[in-house]
Structure 1
Amino acid sequence: MAGLFRKIFGGNTEKVVEKPPRVRLSLDPLAYAAIYAIGDVHGCYEALIEAERRIVEDASLIAGPKLIVLLGDYVDRGKRSRDVLQHLCAPAPEGFHRVALCGNHDDAFFKFLTAPRTNIGWLEFGGEETLYSYGVDAKYLFSQGRGGLDALCAAIRLAVPTEHIELLRSMPIALSIGDLIFVHAGVRPGVSMDSQSDRDLMWIREPFITKGPQLPSLVIHGHTPDMKPVFASGRIGIDTAAFATGNLTVLKIAGGEPSVFPVAA
């Protein structure tokens, strides 16, 4: 659908503005008694709520502050993207800090919201499902005589809260905690974090998946789905395709030891 309407509306008719790189965070490894990482949510709100419930339950006997790191891709494909973003706008559970990293789908949604004509391809990238979670039916608005992209943009302005846009805008791209690196997709092997582009960290698969990070760090990532968590050289992948399988994976790191538990919605 979006390919057709790129032709109808003339393609990239908006000025392309280079956005500054996203923030890269660094936290003290001694600041948290336990760290929990959550894989790609993709609109699976019920699974996210259950994951946080399981995390709170698991951490109830651990003294001290805990950290939840979400690895990105909160929107698209699943049915409740809006509810996922609304949940992330709320405070973390008591006793926890929470960091929501940016995934490639989240970045694509933000770019569409700020420049829809330039980024209309997002509608074919899972965007229709995300808009539908806000009560916006893109297919209907693009049907004959319904106003097309202008009507869609007007509906989005009414439907998407400013706090969701600001959340998407402010999401960091990476988190370093001691020798742990949390990112959405991975890193270019053998390249320092200072030289990694935002696109690397949000989009890379190969050669990262095959070769690993080749850095003195353990990289914890999502983006590349598998039926179960992947423990490989220098990396742990925890995208278990929750939108398709119903299983959202949580990685726990406490006492220097990683372990995982699946969460079924």
Structure 2
Amino acid sequence: MPSSHAKRHQSSIKPTLFGVFEKLTGKRTPLLAVRGQPRQRLHFDAADFSAIYAIGDIHGCYSKLLEAERKIFEDFSRCTGTALIVMLGDYVDRGSSSKDVVEHLCKPTPENIKQVTLCGNHDDAFLRLLEEPGLFPSWYRFAGMETLKSYGIDVTYLLKHGSKRAIERAISDAIPAHHKKLLAEMPSMVTVGDIVFVHAGIRPGIALSEQRDRDLFWIREPFLTRGPELPLLVVHGHTPVAQPFFGNGRIAIDTGAFATGKLTVLRIMNRQAIVLR
């Protein structure tokens, strides 16, 4: 499946880059739990699309998202049929423009493009906050202030001068209903033939029907070392890599856009996977 033109070495995660992301593992936050209601899982036939594109973790990098889409539209303009774009989750937090990213994802795509916005652990946690405002203290320690700031909420001021109720009211008033609807309707997995797209990965050797949303959003090991241990290819984000990684039944494309400025786009066409430069 992977093209010989693509990077095949993980080149380990750079220590300085990985340090930025260590707090994203969720090991010290109750937000590791996911919403009680299981999310939808989508299934398509490989013949449905002449090309498939996947975009790594966006994390509030709106301008990078627009650049990535321009790359895709330009690339697919030379093709016929229908393309599938799979967003791999984590649209909010870290970067400065989460609101703009979510608003953009609510917009329709061109007629020959089908888009799937998978749910990431940060998106699921944000929705949990909207549904359970009392989670704000733990959510804030996990996510920081960038997302709420992008919605016009002065978190620093409210933490210093406001009450708990004032913070909860500000969040409720600032987030549009259609943003909450998008977050609630995001699927946790999409399969196209024998290719699986998820945010974080899967539990090795476990049938897809038995995978838990919690693992699809949060897993690192043993998936990163062992791969899926199933006859399929998993395309995922969540764990940052210095360069897109191709190996052991998986392709990792979270290149830490908010920290590095690099939002990776993967194209799969004729069962060949390449990174669009």
Q: TM-score, normalised by structure 1?
A: 0.90
- 2:105 aligned with 1:69, yes or no? no
**Match among 190, 194, 209 for residue 175 of structure 1:** 190
**Match among 209, 234, 242 for residue 219 of structure 1:** 234
How much does 1:119 deviate?
Answer: 5.1
How much does 1:124 deviate?
Answer: 1.7
Contact 2:34–2:213 (Cα < 8 Å) also in 1: no
Q: How does 1:162-241 map to 2 (within 5 A)?
A: 162-241=177-256
**Match among 26, 37, 44 for residue 54 of structure 2:** 37
Partner letter of residue 262 of structure 2? Answer: N
- 1-side partners of 2:75 and 2:223: how far apart? 32
- Deviates further, 113-122 or 21-30: 113-122
Identity %: 54
Structure 1 SS opposite 2:263: strand
- 2:116 aligned with 1:96, yes or no? no
Contact 1:111–1:119 (Cα < 8 Å) also in 2: no
Q: How does 1:142-153 map to 2 (within 5 A)?
A: 142-143=159-160, 146-153=161-168
- 2-side partners of 1:245 and 1:203: how far apart? 22
Partner letter of residue 231 of structure 2? Answer: P
- 1-side partners of 2:98 and 2:110: how far apart? 20
Structure 1: which 5+ runs fail to align? 1-11
- 1-side partners of 2:260 and 2:172: how far apart? 33
Q: Which has the higher contact order (CA 8 A, sep 6+)?
A: 2
Contact 1:183–1:219 (Cα < 8 Å) also in 2: yes
**Match among 138, 149, 153 for residue 132 of structure 1:** 149
Contact 1:109–1:127 (Cα < 8 Å) also in 2: no
- 1-side partners of 2:162 and 2:197: how far apart? 42
How much does 1:128 deviate?
Answer: 1.1
How much does 1:94 deviate?
Answer: 3.8
How much does 1:140 deviate?
Answer: 1.0
Q: Provide Cα deviations, 1:193-214, integer angstroms capped at 9, x if missing partner.
A: 1111100100000000011110
Contact 2:85–2:115 (Cα < 8 Å) also in 1: yes
How much does 1:17 deviate?
Answer: 11
**Match among 239, 252, 263 for residue 248 of structure 1:** 263
Contact 1:186–1:201 (Cα < 8 Å) also in 2: yes
Specify whether residues 119 and 135 from structure 1 end up closer, same or farther in structure 2 by C-alpha distance, changes over 3 A only. closer
- 2-side partners of 1:19 and 1:147: how far apart? 30
- 1-side partners of 2:179 and 2:258: how far apart? 21
- 2-side partners of 1:26 and 1:100: how far apart? 14
Q: Which residue of 2 aligns with 1:261?
A: 276
